């Protein structure tokens, strides 16, 4: 990632890029917080932000989505609606605190409209694997009047086409918010997340759904693409450090 040598057993970085790991937090859990969990956390608590009583939609239930879902719950969300095409991930969403889970945006929109008397979600957080411009209007369709749709998902840097009802954007006063790393500062957010974990409010242990050896790294990438894990980790051995 970013030419940092992420999969090396050792790496040299500037001191400003380091946050000390609390000995009470296991390394496998601490490893999740470097990017995915912090991005989801910030998407919910800063970029959105979710407030008590809000109805929240989370589109895409991977590591970032599960973190956003959990932090929406911690933030006091009234109901959390999860959307993912993979059945196992929908089951995971319910396990981590979602109220309802849906396979597609169409079924989600109908059910959310019924549950909210047509008001829809105060906040929608999009954490799909790849952002496509043709989907933006559907995400905004889940968003309430005056609400915010947070696009944490990345799209192609070359893509410029977006499907969006401009009249609805103005008349319903909706907000479309981009979010990088949850809009946060790692020196602040990582200690906050660590404390939430230690207090038992944030379940990071169960987010680790698969472990791999260094030799199995390609299996890990494949299973990410197949939607077979929330977060996978590489477990280094002494031989890997030789």
pLDDT by residue (tens digit) across 57-70?
Answer: 999 999 999 999 99
Taking 70 as the threshold, does the pLDDT of residue 1 lie above it?
A: no
- Give the tens place of pLDDT for each residue, 134-187: 999 999 999 999 999 999 999 999 999 999 999 999 999 999 999 999 998 888
- The tokens for 81 are 């609606």
- Give the tens place of pLDDT for each residue, 22-53: 888 998 888 899 889 999 999 999 999 999 99
- Determine the Cα–Cα distance for residues 49 and 42; give it in Å rounded to an integer: 8
Q: What pLDDT does residue 214 have?
A: 87
Q: What pLDDT does residue 242 have?
A: 66
Q: What is the pTM of this model?
A: 0.93
Are the CB atoms for 119 and 52 separated by under 8 Å? no
pLDDT category at 97 given cuts 50, 70, 90 is: very high
Phi–psi pair at 205, nearest 5 degrees: -60, -45
Which architecture does CATH list for 1-242? Alpha-Beta Complex (3.90)
Are the CB atoms for 209 and 230 separated by under 8 Å? yes
- Determine the Cα–Cα distance for residues 173 and 79; give it in Å rounded to an integer: 22
Mean pLDDT across the chain: 93
CA-based nearest residue to 230, from 212, 200, 203, 206: 206
Phi–psi pair at 79, nearest 5 degrees: -140, 145
- Determine the Cα–Cα distance for residues 98 and 82; give it in Å rounded to an integer: 6
List alpha helices for the chain, DSSP H: 27-33, 36-42, 63-74, 87-95, 105-115, 136-141, 166-171, 186-198, 217-225
Environment class of 166 (CB within 10 Å of its CB; exposed 0-12, middle 13-18, buried 19+): exposed
């Amino acid at each position: 990632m970013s030419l940092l040598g992420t999969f090396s057993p050792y790496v040299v970085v500037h001191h400003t890029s380091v946050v000390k790991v609390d000995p009470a937090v296991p390394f496998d859990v601490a490893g999740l917080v470097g990017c995915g969990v912090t991005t989801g956390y910030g998407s919910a608590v800063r970029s959105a932000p979710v407030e008590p009583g809000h109805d929240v939609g989370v589109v895409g239930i991977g590591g970032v989505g599960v973190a956003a879902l959990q932090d929406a719950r911690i933030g006091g969300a009234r109901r959390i609606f999860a959307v993912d095409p993979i059945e196992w991930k929908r089951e995971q969403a319910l396990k981590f605190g979602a109220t309802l889970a849906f396979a597609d945006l169409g079924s989600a929109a109908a059910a959310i409209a019924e549950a909210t008397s047509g008001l829809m979600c105060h906040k929608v957080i999009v954490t799909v694997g790849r952002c496509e411009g043709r989907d933006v209007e559907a995400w905004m369709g889940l968003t309430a009047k005056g609400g915010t749709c947070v696009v944490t998902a990345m799209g192609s840097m070359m893509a410029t086409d977006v499907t969006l009802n401009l009249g609805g954007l103005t008349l319903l006063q909706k907000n479309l918010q981009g979010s990088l790393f949850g809009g946060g500062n790692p020196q602040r957010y990582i200690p906050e997340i660590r404390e939430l974990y230690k207090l038992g409010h944030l379940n990071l242990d169960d987010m680790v759904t698969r472990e791999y050896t260094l030799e199995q790294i390609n299996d890990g990438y494949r299973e990410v693409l197949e939607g077979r894990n929330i977060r996978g980790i590489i477990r280094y051995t002494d031989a890997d450090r030789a």
